[in-house]
Amino acid sequence: MSALALLFGYFLLLLYRPWLICLRIAFFPDGSTAGHQRAKKALVIAQDSVRIECFTEAQLMFNVTKHSYVPRHRIVSASEKEALLAKYKIEEDKLPKIQMEDPVARYFGAEVGDVFRIERPSETAGRYITYRIVIR
């Protein structure tokens, strides 16, 4: 089976991001064969104007954002990011980091430079809000 046939044999889902960046998500079976590798290479070649994130079936068996140990994450807008940096009088590199390969970052389709607002429950304050910037 050709790589192109494999590519079209899998379900591609288009997600819309508020700042007009499309993210294509490709789903692959857990077994990695030569055909799967060719299809993945074809996807890499196709990512001229969109970012493509590949997931296996096992990675999508549960929603990582619904796990009890994962706090609520949200990507902030560019204006919120600027207000945050101005409020605390810091540069981007001084924010705590989150890697682009983090499961939650992959779930949201985060790119380098995006900032997550993370809301955690706190015994003393009720809730604790922190921010993390996405790095490579």
Domains of the chain, residue spans:
3-60, 66-135
Rounded distance, CA 109 to CA 107, Å?
A: 6
Q: 38-68, pLDDT tens digit by residue?
A: 766 666 665 555 666 777 777 778 888 889 8
Structure tokens at 34: 């030569």
User: Three-state DSSP class for 135?
Assistant: strand
Which helix (DSSP H) or strand (DSSP E) does residue 87 occupy?
helix 78-88
Q: Residue 110 above 70 pLDDT?
A: yes
Homologous superfamily, domain 66-135: RPB5-like RNA polymerase subunit (3.90.940.20)
Rounded distance, CA 63 to CA 123, Å?
A: 26
Q: 61-97, pLDDT tens digit by residue?
A: 888 888 989 999 999 999 999 999 999 999 999 999 9
Q: Residue 17 above 70 pLDDT?
A: no
**82 CB neighbour count, 10 Å cutoff:** 12
The confidence score (pLDDT) of residue 1 equals 42
Give the max Cα distance, the chain.
59
Q: 19-34, pLDDT tens digit by residue?
A: 334 455 555 565 556 6
Q: Residue 108 above 70 pLDDT?
A: yes
CA-wise closest residue to 115 among 94, 90, 88, 97: 97
